[in-house]
Amino acid sequence: MQAKPPFPAVGGPKSQAMLERGIPLFRNGLRYAQELERSHQRGYRSPRQIIIGRAEGDFIWDLDGKRYIDFQNGWATNPVGNCHPEVIEAVEAANRTWGFHYDHPLRYELAEQLAEIMPGPLPRFSYEVSGTEAAEAAVHTALAYTQRRHVITFASCYHGMGLGTKVLSALDPDYGRYLEAWSGGVIKAPYPFSDHIPAGMDQEQYVDFCLWFLDHHIPAAVTTRDNIAAIMIEPGLAEGGNWIPTPRFIQGVREICDRNGWLLIVDEVLTGLGRTGRMWGIEHYDVEPDILVVGKNLSGGIAPCAGIAARDEILGDNPHAWSGSTFAGTPAGCAAGLKTLELFERDGVVAQAAHLGAVAAEVMADWESRHPIVRQVRSNGLLMGVSIQDPEGQAGRDEDTVWFAREVRSQLLARGVWAISDREENIRMYPSLTMDEAVLREGLQHLEEAIAHVEANGLTVKDAPDLPTGL
């Protein structure tokens, strides 16, 4: 018999009933009852979960009709809010006109427009469906162009969940378990922004160490300089904990690439197209990449569209850089991208994101000093995160830290705000770039209330399992 969660999911019986349908369908459903029983016996209760019944603008509604402020934003994919009617209309018109045919004019128009807004001369574009595919295409393009075999990525980076991107990423070593033999060409370097700076080093010294590791340790101990094709980096770790790098580090990476003849691939799948209050995250660093990876926001929240932009010679004369797939650059995806760029221009969306980011930074400015469980507020524009710590402050107890963040997220949901905390130490928030300022402030106010509640009441959920949803 399946054990019943002792508390209904937030929003009520319809969400609950739908979530239970996942037990026989999705991954880890067979373990669910046993894990639930174990956590009940230790006094913990089920985390709050909902199923979305409808989404519109700044909000989502669960199946039982309760409304939530949307800080999750389809994992940061709805730049102009949920179900923007003009993007929907553009996508539907493209579907009616072309279906899935490949040789349509929108792919030319969108590639031309993207070339105009790139952070540097990156005139060539290759379409992909997802950020995962695009990140993999960027790496293969770099290997094929340089005719080299290694690429450098960073600790805590996330580039996707494909076979290639799993071995490129370093978010959680468990994601790549049993793929160890597939990761031969990837060199993982330390990332200087972390809760785990080695003993005795201050932040600036650790930046120096990480640059030294790239420039000296890898060529001296791992592979020769002329066998490294590229460094791939996110200008702001999102999944890896909203760490915002300093200009000195990113400029240092660019300088090392230039001096060694390595390409710089910038993965802007999450940071790109306005998320940080600039069109591209890399614009905060006064650095031009050689290849840029784009996804998420390009979809306008409606139809997937992703790809890579590259310097002329890198994609313009590279016969071995194969990529693309059946649904890459569909008429619907390109229509979504074109309409999104049109709305960005017409409605001043990037400037609005910068303004909202400044509002949020001001609201959260004193949280570190006022809340013992807030370790750091780490934001760049609307790439917003609050890292949570065990209030006892017991260094090195990462597990407990994760449970505190999970508790805050659960309390936040109970207060009508939908945000991300994915078994991590952070609450991450990626509202739409056009969110109403009052709604943004209200959501942050609820976050502060949730934080205060957890400080006063401690853990109630801990490791109680989520009902399986297929993730």
Closest contact distance (angstroms) between CB of 350 and ligand PLP is 19
Cβ closer to ligand PLP: 26 or 75?
Answer: 75
Contacts to ligand PLP from residues 66-85, by CB under 6 A:
75
131: contact with ligand PLP by CB under 6 A: yes
Closest contact distance (angstroms) between CB of 210 and ligand PLP is 19
Instruction: Please choose, out of 56-64, 158-166, 187-195, 212-220, the segment that lies near ligand PLP by the rule CB under 6 A.
Output: 158-166
- When binding is defined by CB under 6 A, the residue of 107, 140, 159, 375 that contacts ligand PLP is 159
267: contact with ligand PLP by CB under 6 A: yes
270: contact with ligand PLP by CB under 6 A: yes
454: contact with ligand PLP by CB under 6 A: no
Residues listed for the chain: 471
Closest contact distance (angstroms) between CB of 73 and ligand PLP is 12
Residues pairing with 378 in the sheet? 385
Closest contact distance (angstroms) between CB of 161 and ligand PLP is 7
Closest contact distance (angstroms) between CB of 336 and ligand PLP is 14
385: contact with ligand PLP by CB under 6 A: no
Backbone angles phi, psi at 36, to 5 degrees: -65, -45
Label the pairing between strands 67-70 and 417-418.
parallel
Q: How far is CA 126 from CA 303, 307, 309, in A?
A: 17, 5, 7
Crossing angle of helices 437-457 and 398-414, rounded to 10°: 130
Going by the DSSP 8-state scheme, the letter that residue 290 receives in this structure is S
Helix ranges, 302-366 (H): 312-316, 331-347, 349-364
Q: Which residues contact 191 (CB under 8 A, 6 or more apart)?
A: 154, 155, 156, 157, 210, 237, 240, 243
- Sign, Cα dihedral of 79, 85, 91, 94: negative
Site string for ligand PLP, 284-323 (x = CB under 6 A): -----------x----------------------------
Crossing angle of helices 437-457 and 349-364, rounded to 10°: 30
Closest contact distance (angstroms) between CB of 24 and ligand PLP is 26
Closest contact distance (angstroms) between CB of 131 and ligand PLP is 2
- When binding is defined by CB under 6 A, the residue of 135, 263, 315, 373 that contacts ligand PLP is 135
132: contact with ligand PLP by CB under 6 A: yes
Of 369, 426, 423, residue with least CA distance to 195: 426
- When binding is defined by CB under 6 A, the residue of 160, 337, 381, 443 that contacts ligand PLP is 160
Closest contact distance (angstroms) between CB of 305 and ligand PLP is 10
Say which residue the tokens 């553009």 belong to. 90
Which structure tokens are listed for 332? 């619907």
CA–CA dist 71, 88 (Å, integer): 21
Cβ closer to ligand PLP: 148 or 159?
Answer: 159
CA angle 162, 82, 9 (to 5 degrees): 80
Site string for ligand PLP, 223-262 (x = CB under 6 A): -----------x---xx-----------------------
Binding site for ligand PLP (CB under 6 A): 75, 130-132, 135, 158-160, 234, 238-239, 267, 269-270, 295
